A = this chain, B = another copy of it.
Amino acid sequence: MTSSSQSSARHRVVVIGSGFGGLFSTQRLKKADVDVTLIARTTHHLFQPLLYQVATGILSEGEIAPATREVLHRQDNAKVLLGDVQRIDLEARTVTHSAVGRETVTPYDSLIVAAGAGQSYFGNDEFARHAPGMKSIDDALELRGRIFGSFELAELASTPAEIERLMTFVVVGAGPTGVEMAGQIAELAHRTLRRDFRRIDPAKARVVLLDAAPQVLGSFGEKLGDRAERRLDTMGVEVRLGAKVVGVDSTGIDVELGDGTRERIESVCKVWAAGVSASPLGRQLAEQSGAGIDRAGRVEVQDDLTLPGHPEVFVVGDMMALKGLPGVAQVAIQGGRYAADQIRRRLEGKPPKGPFEYFDKGSMATISRFSAVASVGKAQFSGFIAWVMWLAVHLVYIIGFKHRVTTLLHWAISFLGRGRAERVVTQQQVFARTAIQDLGADFKPELPRLAKDREPRVASD
């Protein structure tokens, strides 16, 4: 175990997580007189709203996941460390984290915890094996393999039942991720792959979107939910509402309908987009501070996003429970920036800001090309206009954030500049086990789980 030394006596801010909350709080501290250490389990920031496009083959990993240290490379007061945080000690004000078995203890003066959430299987963690979630690049690549692989195996299959099972795709959860995923699998099958096979007809693939709730896109209101459902129906997606998943195995999924009857859907490729559960670090924080914790494992914070009795510790984003705010990017971004501003004001001797106020910029979900739903304040949009809004918002992100749009530009960047477009390293690859296992006494073989024995990550473990 090593202790990271600090070269200055400046105020030390530790940020846990490289998602929206962690990255935006770090950036907001650029001009503050502090040393920031961002500790994260992956080497990339992830633009999670486009993860479904990686899973369905539209975008590469690099296009939605820039290297965190590249994003921050001009911010001299910020240091990035690869590490999985095991313990936070509120008393000692330290964070203990490890990478390939090496433990490091990093002290802090202020702490921003933005470790996000993992997939939740509502107590049925055994489902994870058969229905990966949609939370990480690894998940997306795993699903890309399963989706395209299903068609490959169907082309080789010999019985109609087997072909049907391989060409039935079930998406659990009709929130934005589930709706976008189901829509994209349908487009993939019905359009992209139309001419690619000789024995099977991909256009006959069945895509089922399940939810226990009575409505698609519950958070968008009834009107947009109905619009989305109709559009999905037009695309050939079977929407099954009021259907609770009671079993998932390798060849199918069992649901219980509203009237108590059970039904089995034979399907090899299942996607779980149903629920989230906050990082287990939330429980540690709650236990040590006496803060409450909700069913999803989120920490009940004060109205300034701090832990009770610990004004130096902020919890933001998907880990935070406050006034029922949803687990979306904007809540994390605004929370991260708020926390950074509070730290800076304190150091500068300014009075703190008032309670955190979330400004809802609206939400949107694409259903297919040319069709989306969007809700901005009281205004609601659907169809082509909403899709153009979606495209504009995401183009601005892709261009503005990553400074690169094209393969030619990737090349220009690599040859004329210094950047690299594709620096994503998945968990499967992070210094592959074969390279590490016997690095000698210096490194203990306590690795992130790698691909073969990798189960989709379950938040509660």
- Interface residues in chain A, defined as those with a beta carbon under 8 Å from any beta carbon in chain B: 2, 43, 54, 56-63, 67, 69-70, 73-74, 79-83, 99-100, 102, 104, 129-130, 141-142, 144-146, 148-150, 152-153, 155-156, 158, 162, 188, 191-192, 194-199, 250-251, 268-269, 369-370, 398, 405-411, 414-416, 418-423, 425-426, 428-440, 442, 450-456
Q: Which residues of B contact A156 (CB under 8 A)?
A: 81-83, 99, 102, 104
Interface centre among A83, A268, A423, A437 (most CB of B within 10 A): A423
Partner of A425, one of B144, B440, B450: B144
Partner of A421, one of B60, B144, B414, B430: B60
> Could you tell me if B455 and A434 are in contact, using CB atoms closer than 8 angstroms?
yes
Alpha-carbon separation in the docked complex, A453 to B416 (Å)? 39
Alpha-carbon separation in the docked complex, A150 to B432 (Å)? 11
Given contacts A80-B155, A406-B408, 6 further A-B contacts (CB under 8 A): A73-B196, A80-B196, A81-B156, A130-B435, A250-B435, A451-B451
> Could you tell me if B407 and A152 are in contact, using CB atoms closer than 8 angstroms?
no
Alpha-carbon separation in the docked complex, A398 to B407 (Å)? 10
Q: Distance in Å from the Cβ of A48 to the closest Cβ of chain B?
A: 17
Q: Distance in Å from the Cβ of A450 to the closest Cβ of chain B?
A: 4
> Could you tell me if B188 and A422 are in contact, using CB atoms closer than 8 angstroms?
no
Partner of A142, one of B162, B195, B432, B442: B432
Q: Which residues of B contact A197 (CB under 8 A)?
A: 69
In this complex, what residue of B is CB-closest to A104? B156
> Could you tell me if B192 and A430 are in contact, using CB atoms closer than 8 angstroms?
no
> Could you tell me if A431 and B149 are in contact, using CB atoms closer than 8 angstroms?
yes
In this complex, what residue of B is CB-closest to A61? B60
Q: Which residues of B contact A63 (CB under 8 A)?
A: 60, 407
In this complex, what residue of B is CB-closest to A82? B152
Q: Distance in Å from the Cβ of A140 to the closest Cβ of chain B?
A: 10
> Could you tell me if A421 and B452 are in contact, using CB atoms closer than 8 angstroms?
no
Q: Which residues of B contact A61 (CB under 8 A)?
A: 60
Alpha-carbon separation in the docked complex, A260 to B418 (Å)? 41
In this complex, what residue of B is CB-closest to A197? B69
Sampled A-B contacts (30; CB under 8 Å): A43-B148, A43-B152, A54-B422, A57-B422, A57-B423, A58-B414, A58-B420, A59-B410, A63-B407, A69-B197, A73-B195, A80-B196, A81-B155, A82-B155, A99-B156, A100-B153, A130-B434, A145-B425, A146-B429, A149-B431, A149-B435, A150-B431, A250-B435, A369-B414, A405-B406, A405-B407, A406-B407, A407-B407, A428-B428, A428-B451
> Could you tell me if A251 and B440 are in contact, using CB atoms closer than 8 angstroms?
yes
> Could you tell me if B426 and A145 are in contact, using CB atoms closer than 8 angstroms?
yes
Alpha-carbon separation in the docked complex, A154 to B99 (Å)? 11
> Could you tell me if A142 and B2 are in contact, using CB atoms closer than 8 angstroms?
no
Q: Distance in Å from the Cβ of A346 to the closest Cβ of chain B?
A: 25
> Could you tell me if B432 and A69 are in contact, using CB atoms closer than 8 angstroms?
no
> Could you tell me if A250 and B145 are in contact, using CB atoms closer than 8 angstroms?
no
Partner of A431, one of B145, B418, B434: B145
